[in-house]
Structure 1
């Protein structure tokens, strides 16, 4: 009997099919070859590596879980595994792929007109065009129903006014999926970069997700034709369905950051000598490592279970909240524990731990805060909504 491997105590890899293992291995190799140690430098410089966009498209990772229009059409589990491997490099890299596929391409794919799909999805899948998702506003994050961005009719056109904040990919996007309030309810609009009155401003001074291109979108009398409207949906169920797609990727991705921290701490504990022996030989260090391994492997089992349900078409959004809440919480605990094992070295960007720990602070609150996912599950358990 082969002993369990410290990287995969439960043998979860054996639960994957050949295609899923191949995709995970391919993305892991891509990250090793194209990112490697540069992630720390990009984080420190607050730079997103735009040169990786085309290769990510060539690898089939952009909109990979969608079908047609040049998208790979992979399983949900395969998409999750790709998110895990990308976030093992940096949350900013996974966030780019997640926003491109789940928040920008998905609404076009699901709610767009045939012309909108043909115009945008093939180049976005190839990495020739980048998209972003404009829902969050400076004063309305957890409560998107209170958005102030408006779209009003003016003859055959629409005129948009408002501001969106914390928009991943905003400064590098060729098209923004902007959600605005109309007389008929919330509608989605495709706003090409360069449209008069539309600007994207970099949000600086971040100490988390520094590798991500984060922007504020400003719309001042932006005039769009009727063909810019996503015709397939009206109301908040449109943007909320997109967020469910993105949250699914996060519940896998956070485990990539956690795994990177766990592996860094494990390697450090084997090599770091104090009191004449490796610190991995001390009981308290072993307790920390075991706790990290337990939570990481439980999170992987949860992600795989939810992924299988998604592939079967039986994954309700409440369970996506379950996965996001549980796995991000576990990942943050793992990152913080790993930092203590590395001691002072744990705050250096020569190791990935403090970078992942800082990034996970953003992952905890974006795409739904811990409080909001708790209330989603609380409503499921009690039948009582406690949001207001």
Structure 2
């Protein structure tokens, strides 16, 4: 059984790492299973790509398509052209895509047109917000996928409602949490810890990159200003995504307690999250990690494709609504944050379940 695994952007790397480990384990047990790793190059900042291969002990890819930046259409086209050539030169039995980035959708389309089956890890999640490029990627990918590996019963239900056969849906848990569980004892204090004189549970972490938050100058300025004022008693550490960095240039957003830093690697960033008093983010993946690490998370979005992080996790949605943001800060600062639990099957064994299912499928 030959599997071609696709990675394209930061969240993908944390998801493929445990899958590769599970494949190697199965192969060591005598099963005929091999993989080829294709990196599309959708993220090309070292701290958003190469660092993750080094830190998570992922073998460097067999091929890097190096598509780099561009519009959605330009990236999609470049990935499809490059991946079509890859499949012609290196045929496989299955293409495995993870998450919901442009690479996920583009490689799924190419694989299906080449007559190759597709497995989608993190299938079935939906935000209901068609303004999110990721939502379109999810819909297209799941409309073509053959084997659906899900993180929650919410995702299962979404797929059933779309008419997917339940026999093709496999509730396996969350591979992101596999990676977190494996490396939580290796989390590494970043240099800025001492530089900023940070102390455990006495600072906030913020990330922003969604177009709804960062694309409009006034919106971005007012959002950051409110957060800085509400969090005035805390240092706020802001690793700046390359997309956001461009938009911040020229804006007068200098505050004494706001600290802009370069993007961090996986081990350093999650060290900051684990030890933070709270996190403010518009990232879906970070809400999963904060839930497992029991860190209060204020999510600057109006919808989420991960409702379990809100219903039983540490996450609360506020969008960019000033009233909701202030209310969330009030609960955070008063120590009245909601209690939380870890979602079902977020136990560090999702990748093993995925590979076990695939071995059984290809035995039939």
When normalised by structure 1's length, the TM-score is: 0.28
- In the superposition, the TM-score normalised over structure 2's length comes to 0.29
**Structure with the bigger percentage of helix:** 1
Highest Rg: 1 or 2? 1
